[in-house]
Chains A and B, each alone.
Chain A
Amino acid sequence: MADEPMTYERAYGELEAIMQDLQEDKISVDELTAKVKRAADLITFCNTMLRTTEAEVSKVVKKLGL
């Protein structure tokens, strides 16, 4: 999805931004579904990576597509 590899910091930053946009009503109802899905994907990525061994990392990243 992005050129740079996803990191915990980037995921967190993106989640924060989504959260803020939501709270400030910046996201239209149409965008809402996409944003919520993105947030869920990011959280899944982080939770999976926290429990992934070094050997499995690249495999997991590929699977999650982030």
Chain B
Amino acid sequence: MNERKVFSLLQVSRAVKQRIEDAAGGGSFWIKAEIASIKMPGHAYLELVEHRNGVKVAVMRGIIWNSALVCINQALGDERGNILREGAEILFRASLSYSEVYGLSLRIEEVDLAYSLGELERRKKETIDTLKREGLWDLNRFVPMPMVLQRIALISSMGTAAYEDFMQHLDENEYGYRYHVRVFASVVQGDGAARELRAALERIDPRQFDAIVLVRGGGSKLDLEPFNDLELCRMVARMPIPVMTGIGHDVDVSVVDMIARSPHKTPTAIADFLVDRSLFFETALSGFLVNIQNTVLEAFSERKEMLGRYIEMLQVRPVMQCQTRRGALHTAVGQFARQVTEKLVLSNRLLDGHVSNLSVLPRHKLAQIETAKVRAQATALEGIAQRGFQVLLSRINGMQDAIQLMSPARLMRRGFSITRYQGVAITDPGAMNVGERIETTFANGTAWSTITKIERHGG
């Protein structure tokens, strides 16, 4: 039977320690974990956990030796209280350490500040997105702001610098305005602040106040955490009166600041705002007073002036009317005369146009027409002439017959004779005297005789 080899506990522990330290090689790692619990001061002892879907999947102890803690606190500055706290997720550099007495632990040497701030930003963005999705983002931002904010519900931590600053600024305003401030006390930073702030808001009856003022003194970036609380933001958004914030941070803005009706940098700035608003209101009132006085005075002087104008008008108007009418008549006559003249000139112009149109009608056209006319006439005349000639010829022929019938020889054969005196045929015996000789020709001879008696027939 083999002899059993028995190890002491220390031997085993040392062996494990040796193995682990060999494996780690003295190096350190960056590790991400949530702080389940932390115990200070002196050295800091932490319980580190990892959750997945709400189930704890890993647990390990962590330790920050006092010497490292001093350096870490320095590096984290004002934010250390918010980073090294229960529930925070941190990124840290640590080495594996094994103690024969305490077992395995992570020796933390450095904590990443940027990671913690990044986590804050991520949660803040989530809150903002949720508020927007729920339609709460603009609710308080567009609540009407009363002209004077006199009844103030103040949420603050009593006795802090923020509270004192605010109250002092309001009380000591140079215009003597009074504000009716009721305090709803609440812790404003650290664990439980969000819960207390919500409780304070719940106690406020908005019908009794003009505004809610939420103030806090300066603080670190992570101190703003309570003001990013989703439930608190929901309550602020739903407030039917303006919420004014003076949370006192120069660089960063909390979600409550973003959804409040009137965000300010400091409590003092809110007090100044309230006083300025009262002053503005009072100035507007004075403006009314001056305006009303001026308007009344003006109204009187205007009415007086108007009365004067009426009187003047009553005296002058009839004369003016006659003048106006006369003028109108004159104008009308002038217009009429001008229109007639214009019409005449226009007609003359038209006439001239016609004349000149006529004169420039192409001459050869006229000639053609004339020639054609002449030709036609000539042809007509030719016909007429021919016909006329024949008529004439027949007439001449007829006349020849008549002439032949009437020839003296033929007439004398019928018994007629011609009497001549001094060689000329006589038709009037008046030219002759008794006793003179006359010659009478007959068909077959001539006889001479002496006038014995002259008797003239009437006519």
A and B from one assembly?
Answer: yes
Residues of A within 8 A of B (CB): 8-9, 12, 15-16, 18-19, 22-23, 25, 29, 32, 36, 39-40, 43, 46-47, 49-54, 57
Query: Secondary structure at chain B's binding surface: helix, strand, loop or mixed?
Result: helix
B177→A50 contact, CB < 8 A = yes
Partner of B278, one of A12, A40, A50, A54: A50
Given contact pairs A12-B285, A19-B292, A50-B177, a sample of 5 additional A-B residue pairs in the complex whose CB atoms are under 8 Å apart? A8-B281, A29-B303, A36-B296, A39-B288, A46-B281
Does B147 touch A at the CB level, under 8 Å?
yes
A54 and B180 contact, CB distance less than 8 A: yes
Chain B proximity of A2: nearest CB distance (Å): 18
Interface status of B178 (Cβ within 8 A of chain A): yes
Name the A residues within 8 Å of B177 (CB-CB): 50-51
Say whether B146 contacts A9, CB under 8 Å.
yes
A49 partner residues in chain B, CB cutoff 8 A: 150
Chain B's closest residue to A15 (CB) is B288
A46 contact from B178, B180, B285, B299, Cβ within 8 A: B285
State which of B147, B289, B295 has its C-beta within 8 Å of the C-beta of A43: B289
Q: Is there an interface contact between B178 and A39, defined as CB atoms closer than 8 Å?
A: no
When distances are taken between beta carbons in the complex, the residues of chain A under 8 Å from B353 are none
Contacts of A51 in B (CB 8 A): 176-178
Bound complex: CA A40 to CA B289 (Å): 7
Chain A residue with minimal CB distance to B182?
Answer: A54
A9 to B281, CA, bound (A): 10
A53: B residues at CB distance < 8 A: 178, 180
Task: Identify which of residues 281-310 in chain B touch chain A, using a CB-to-CB cut-off of 8 Å.
Answer: 281-282, 284-286, 288-289, 291-292, 295-296, 299, 303
Contacts A22-B295, A22-B296, A53-B180: A9 and B147 contacting too (C-beta < 8 A)?
A: yes
Q: Assess whether B299 is in contact with A8, with CB atoms less than 8 Å apart.
A: no
Complex CA distance for A57 and B289, rounded to whole angstroms: 24
Chain B: how many interface residues by the 8 Å CB criterion?
24
* Cα-based distance from A43 to B293 in the complex (angstroms): 13
| Minimal beta-carbon separation of A45 from chain B (angstroms) | 10
Among A9, A36, A47, the residue within 8 A (CB) of B285 is A47
Q: Is B148 an interface residue (CB 8 A)?
A: yes
Q: Which residue of B lies closest to A43 (CB)?
A: B285
- From the candidates A8, A19, A52, name the one contacting B288 in the complex (CB within 8 A): A19
A29 to B291, CA, bound (A): 17
CA distance A36 to B290 in the complex (A): 11
Q: Which residues of A contact B284 (CB under 8 A)?
A: 12
Task: Determine the chain A residues whose CB is within 8 A of the CB of B288 once the complex forms.
Answer: 15-16, 19, 39, 43
Cβ contacts B149-184/A at 8 Å (1 or 0 each): 011000000000000000000000001111010000
Closest to A32 in B: B296
Q: Report the bound CA distance from A22 to B292 in whole Å.
A: 8
Distance in angstroms from B382 CB to nearest chain A CB is 106
Q: How long is the Cα–Cα vector from A1 to B358 in the complex, in angstroms?
A: 100
Q: A22-B295, A36-B296, A39-B292 are in contact. Are A50 and B147 (CB under 8 A)?
A: no
Bound: A44/B231 CA distance, A: 44
12 contacts between A and B (CB under 8 A): A19-B288, A22-B296, A23-B295, A36-B296, A43-B285, A46-B285, A47-B282, A50-B175, A50-B177, A50-B178, A52-B178, A54-B178
Residue of chain B at shortest CB distance from A12: B147
Please name all residues of chain B whose beta carbon is closer than 8 Å to the beta carbon of A29 when the two chains form the complex.
299, 303
CB contacts (< 8 Å) of B278 on chain A: these are: 50
Shortest CB-to-CB span from A9 to chain B, Å, is 6
Contact of A39 among B175, B180, B289, B299 (CB under 8 A): B289
